[in-house]
Structure 1
């Protein structure tokens, strides 16, 4: 029996996953969490074999949460189930300590296969993402320009690449959405990048999360 902890801030997603898992004789949901704090609480209070983790939740989440969980429980099996169908985000999650990564757009059978493999201690990447990651590895390296960023710009850049949205960043930093958007635009301009995907790739290439 594979005991699961589901971490997602949307109740409808958690309920849907529980309905899927209820039909599988070898899967059992032991608990659920809606944010990073609840995940950390469950880590202490709930016995489970695999954490099914969303990348974007209120409070501590994404790469920061994965890194924290890996530090607190080195043998924890973590499978990220995320709305971000991006090889750059997947690579960040894996570098932080996740065992696998799969987008929410995947088929149910692929999700079940991923859960069973990760629960055994194996890694798993959705096939379409794995293929993109191979091509990304050969992409040209962006010149290092992050020394031009202000402290606030760098902070927001890392929050963006950690999977946080403009609204979530504004709430956490107690600033307006417009201010966050302005910082985001300036970051892209200073680094000579054109998109969030480019920013994520830049962050990985220059190891800015560490």
Structure 2
């Protein structure tokens, strides 16, 4: 049996996934949780073969949880689930160590295929993302500016693009306003923007946010 830890903050989603996995016959949910800290705790004590992890989580977002999981248990496979399109987050997930990225609208058969492949030590990458990853190989000098941002820089970048103030960002990310300003300065330098409006325009131009 493939033992899975399921982390999603929506109970309805968890129940639906549990039913799909139960019907498979060779997969069981060994644990479930609704936030990042609990996922990290359970991953450290549960006998599991992989983690199904949502990106949009309370307390700690799924990308941060993924980063910490790979630090603590680098050989534990993680399959990321999201409502976001691949072009927005998949590449970041793979770079952080994810073994698969699936949209929650994916067919059940595709989910099961990805789980089995990941549990066997492989990776699941969609054809479209495989092309994008292939094009990215050896293209470091030609990366888009937002692709060079660190995880925390990208969080601040998204918040600025969404119109959040330094104080709001500091509160939401539990960091100091000075730290936010430091990240903002790095973002301005990397994107070539001159101010917060420029950051927002960059995000819109690259379809990273929607107006």
TM-score (norm 2): 0.71
Task: Give me the whole-angstrom Cα distance separating, in 1, the residues matched to 2:35 and 2:158.
Answer: 15
**Partner-residue secondary structure (3-state), 1:17:** helix
Aligned length, in residue pairs: 185
Identify if the C-alpha distance between structure 1 residues 109 and 187 changes in structure 2 by more than 3 Å, giving closer, same or farther: farther
In the alignment, is residue 87 of structure 1 matched against residue 87 of structure 2? yes
Q: For residues 8-157 of structure 1, what are the structure 2 equivalents within 5 Å?
A: 8-134=8-134, 141-142=143-144
Check the 8 A contact 2:5/2:43 in 1, yes or no. no
Give the match for residue 204 of structure 2.
195
Give the match for residue 151 of structure 1.
none
- CA displacement at 1:190 relative to structure 2: 4.4
Give the match for residue 189 of structure 2.
none
Task: Give me the whole-angstrom Cα distance separating, in 1, the residues matched to 2:205 and 2:35.
Answer: 24
Relative contact order, higher structure (CA 8 A, sep 6+): 1
**Partner-residue secondary structure (3-state), 2:52:** strand
**Partner-residue secondary structure (3-state), 1:124:** coil
- RMSD between aligned residues: 3.9
* Correspondence for 1:158 among 148, 154, 161: 154
In structure 2, runs of 5+ residues without a counterpart are: 175-183, 185-192
Give the match for residue 177 of structure 2.
none
Identify if the C-alpha distance between structure 1 residues 87 and 28 changes in structure 2 by more than 3 Å, giving closer, same or farther: same
Task: Give me the whole-angstrom Cα distance separating, in 2, the residues matched to 1:98 and 1:110.
Answer: 17
Identify if the C-alpha distance between structure 1 residues 16 and 160 changes in structure 2 by more than 3 Å, giving closer, same or farther: farther
Give the match for residue 3 of structure 2.
3
In structure 1, runs of 5+ residues without a counterpart are: 147-153, 175-182, 201-210
Task: Give me the whole-angstrom Cα distance separating, in 2, the residues matched to 1:99 and 1:156.
Answer: 21
**Residues 44-100 of structure 1, C-alpha deviations (whole Å, 9 max, x = no match):** 221110100111101122322111110100110111111111224101011111111
For structure 1, which segment, 53-62 or 25-34, has the greater mean C-alpha deviation from structure 2 after superposition?
Answer: 53-62
